[in-house]
């Protein structure tokens, strides 16, 4: 029987031949059944899937292909639906000629030709699809090189293990492992050898862990491990030690014995009660610490340390935003000549006008930004603001200098000199009105580079003072070498100099050094007239401190200076 014979008559001739060709070349199994359910014809794909030739099945009923579990009632139900609705579709178990059962998706449709009724059946072999699905699932969840679970499957298992750990009240350890110096293996022996080493490492790791543990490859030379159902964290140490020992055994690559090591980071759930991605990140952080400690070891994640690190990062980000939002401001503390009582300058002191906490002193936030990329931008802002205030004071008739504290990372920044020169020119400020204050520790960080930059500043006409002198590592050699104009005696010595003979002796020594090297001396922390008079008699020429004036906003300095000029403090006189 041809397909032309079951056509309605309007598609005869050549089109019927085309239908026969399509029937014969379809990839799905196809069969034509008579009204009684007997086979009239099957296509080659049917024979390929079932093993039955067309001659084997013509005239036979459809139920000959079904397994025993599909009884008479099952087949009767199919035909009942087919005759009532004209179509039936569902999954059944078929039987090949060999007797093998296989799943298939069968569709039966009623066809009315006008002359007779018949049924066309098509089916797909689901066993092939399921095999392909299993292959796809394996590709999706397993590493192609090592056949270990990949990151996706590891995270799935981690989620399950976390839920089990919460119920059991026991401990789950998550590890992140990285082979040390694996790149050198690839460079020396090639990537194919590197792949063989990764395979060997995966075998050794699986041999070192317990039966229920999971070893996964995350990519490259990075692996992850799950150790669950532990009574306490101490129980993970033997396994971690075994893994390191196993990996450190020599491997043979291209006939050569090659020895590697690994660094492992681990975190413990539920004490580290985070989501799977964060737990992996914490284990990764701990692994980096293990590498920093010398490799070939392991390190357990410290949640308290991580909290401090994250707080530091958050604080740095908040300070960066403060700079962008113009929340930083400058206060100024006047500096006077002890001999004349005249105001000669003002030191710029950084403050943070925090929208929630009010005025924040630099000691509470500047230590956070030392040796970070924020130090130079903040220092540049301070210089800009100080020059702008100086310009306003001069316009108001106040002719004084301004001192700015410079951090080591800012001073040694590559653009410091160029920016300083441009800033002085743009602000119309004569260099002699600017003084840069550096700490002793700043000068010592890179003495040659510091000397070079300070000497260039001096050639510009900018003054240099060595701040907090005496509390660092004072050295006559570098004091002689550094091109500084003045030494500033730290307030910690000045405060108790009237009662503490040691502090007084230190101040006398600093003043003597300054005089020997031709430097001016500025005393910080002068709180009383008596302090000032005693310092003057000892040879100190300049002072600043609460006894003269507290730090004040830049806009208030002109009015303060006018009032001070009318009634200056007198230090050059009898006590």
Q: State the DSSP string of 329-346.
A: EEEEEEEEETTT--EEEE
Same domain, 288 and 342: no
Domain count, the chain: 3
pLDDT in tens, 272-293: 999 999 999 999 999 999 999 8
Q: What pairing do the DSSP bridges indicate for beta strands 434-439 and 401-405? A: parallel
Distance, CA of 216 to CA of 153 (rounded, Å): 8
Mean pLDDT score of the chain, rounded to an integer? Answer: 87
Q: Is 429 within 8 Å of 387 (Cβ atoms)?
A: yes
Which has more confidence, 534 or 565? 534
Q: What pairing do the DSSP bridges indicate for beta strands 463-469 and 486-489? A: parallel
At CA 363, angle to CA 360 and CA 368, rounded to 5? 100
The whole-angstrom distance between residue 523's C-alpha and the CA centroid of its chain comes to 46
- The pLDDT value recorded for residue 575 is 45
On the question of pLDDT at 574 being above 60, the answer is no
| Confidence band, pLDDT 50/70/90 cuts, at residue 477 | low
Which has more confidence, 83 or 552? 552
- The pLDDT value recorded for residue 11 is 46
pLDDT in tens, 27-58: 888 999 888 788 999 999 999 988 999 998 89
Distance, CA of 44 to CA of 529 (rounded, Å): 114
| CATH number, residue 7 | 3.30.450.20
Residue ending a domain, among 78, 98, 131, is: 131
Cis peptide before 270 (omega within 30 of 0): yes
Same domain, 120 and 147: no
Q: Which of 384, 469, 371 is nearest to 411 (CA)?
A: 371
On the question of pLDDT at 474 being above 70, the answer is no
Could you tell me what percent of the chain has a pLDDT over 90? 54
Q: Residue 315 domain-assigned? A: no
Q: Which domain holds residue 277?
A: 142-301
pLDDT in tens, 112-163: 776 667 889 998 888 877 778 787 887 888 988 999 999 999 999 999 999 9
Q: Residue 85 domain-assigned? A: yes
User: Which runs of E-coded beta strand occur in 408-560?
Assistant: 434-439, 463-469, 486-489, 520-523, 542-543, 552-553
Same domain, 283 and 353: no
The whole-angstrom distance between residue 109's C-alpha and the CA centroid of its chain comes to 60
Same domain, 349 and 209: no
On the question of pLDDT at 240 being above 90, the answer is yes
Q: Is 540 within 8 Å of 504 (Cβ atoms)?
A: no
Same domain, 285 and 362: no
Q: Residue 316 domain-assigned? A: no
- For the ranges 62-66, 76-80, 220-224, the maximum mean pLDDT occurs at 220-224
Distance, CA of 354 to CA of 377 (rounded, Å): 19
The encoded tokens of residue 56 equal 């084997």
- The pLDDT value recorded for residue 8 is 45
Distance, CA of 45 to CA of 554 (rounded, Å): 93
Same domain, 108 and 205: no
Q: Is 266 within 8 Å of 236 (Cβ atoms)?
A: yes
- The pLDDT value recorded for residue 76 is 83
Residue 24 neighbours by CB under 8 Å, 6+ apart: 43, 44
| CATH number, residue 257 | 3.30.70.270
> What's the average model confidence in pLDDT over 449-466?
92
Which has more confidence, 362 or 61? 362
Same domain, 9 and 34: yes
DSSP 466: E
Which has more confidence, 328 or 131? 328
Same domain, 204 and 118: no
DSSP alpha helix (H) spans, 259-328:
276-292, 303-324
On the question of pLDDT at 170 being above 50, the answer is yes
- The pLDDT value recorded for residue 9 is 44
């Amino acid at each position: 029987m041809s397909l032309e014979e079951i056509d309605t008559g309007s598609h005869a001739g050549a089109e019927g031949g085309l239908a026969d060709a399509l029937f014969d070349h379809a990839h799905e199994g196809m069969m034509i059944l008579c009204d009684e359910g007997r086979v009239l014809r099957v296509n080659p794909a049917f024979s390929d899937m079932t093993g039955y030739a067309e001659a084997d099945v013509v005239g036979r009923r459809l139920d000959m292909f079904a397994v025993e579990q599909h009884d008479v009632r099952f087949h009767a139900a199919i035909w009942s639906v087919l005759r009532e609705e004209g179509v039936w579709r569902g999954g059944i178990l078929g039987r090949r000629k060999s007797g093998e059962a296989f799943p298939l998706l069968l569709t039966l449709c009623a066809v009315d030709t006008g002359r007779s009724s018949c049924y066309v059946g098509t089916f797909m072999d689901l066993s092939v699809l399921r095999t392909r699905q299993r292959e796809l699932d394996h590709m999706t969840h397993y590493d192609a090189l090592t056949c270990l679970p990949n990151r996706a499957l590891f995270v799935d298992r981690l989620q399950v293990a976390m839920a089990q750990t919460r119920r059991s009240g026991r401990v789950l350890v998550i590890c992140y492992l990285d082979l040390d110096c694996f790149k050198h293996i690839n460079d020396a022996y090639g990537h194919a050898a590197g792949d063989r080493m990764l395979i060997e490492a995966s075998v050794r790791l699986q041999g070192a862990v317990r039966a229920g543990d999971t070893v996964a490859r995350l990519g490259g030379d990075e692996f992850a491990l799950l150790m669950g159902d532990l009574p306490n964290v101490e129980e993970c140490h033997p396994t971690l030690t075994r893994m390191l020992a196993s990996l450190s055994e020599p491997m043979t690559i291209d006939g050569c014995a090659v020895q590697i090591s690994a660094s492992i980071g681990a975190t413990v759930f539920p004490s580290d009660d985070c989501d799977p991605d964060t737990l992996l990140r914490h284990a990764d952080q701990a692994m980096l610490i293990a590498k920093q400690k010398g490799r070939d070891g392991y390190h357990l994640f410290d949640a308290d340390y991580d909290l401090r690190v994250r707080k530091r990062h958050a604080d740095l980000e908040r300070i960066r935003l403060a700079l962008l939002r113009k929340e930083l401001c400058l206060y100024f503390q006047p500096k006077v000549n002890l001999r004349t009582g005249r105001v000669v300058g003002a030191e710029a002191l950084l403050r943070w006008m925090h929208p929630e906490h009010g005025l924040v002193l630099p000691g509470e936030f500047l230590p956070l930004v030392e040796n970070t990329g924020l130090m130079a931008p903040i220092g540049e802002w301070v210089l800009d603001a100080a020059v702008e205030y100086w310009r306003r004071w001069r316009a108001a008739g106040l002719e004084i200098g301004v001192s700015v504290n410079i951090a080591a990372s800012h001073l040694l920044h590559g653009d410091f000199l160029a920016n300083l020169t441009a800033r002085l020119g743009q602000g119309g400020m004569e260099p002699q009105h600017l003084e840069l204050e550096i700490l002793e520790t700043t000068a010592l960080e890179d003495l040659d580079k510091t000397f070079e930059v300070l000497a260039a500043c001096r050639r510009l006409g900018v003054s240099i003072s060595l701040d907090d002198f005496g509390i660092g590592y004072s050295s006559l050699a570098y004091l002689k070498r550094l091109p500084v104009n003045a030494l500033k005696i730290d307030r910690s010595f000045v405060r108790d100099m009237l009662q503490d003979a040691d502090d007084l002796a230190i101040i006398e020594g600093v003043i003597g050094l300054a005089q020997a090297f031709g430097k001016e001396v500025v005393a910080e922390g002068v709180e009383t007239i008596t302090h000032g008079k005693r310092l003057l008699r000892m040879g100190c020429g300049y002072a600043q401190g609460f006894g003269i004036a507290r730090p004040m906003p830049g806009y208030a300095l002109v009015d303060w200076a006018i009032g001070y000029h009318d009634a200056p403090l007198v230090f050059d006189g009898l006590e």
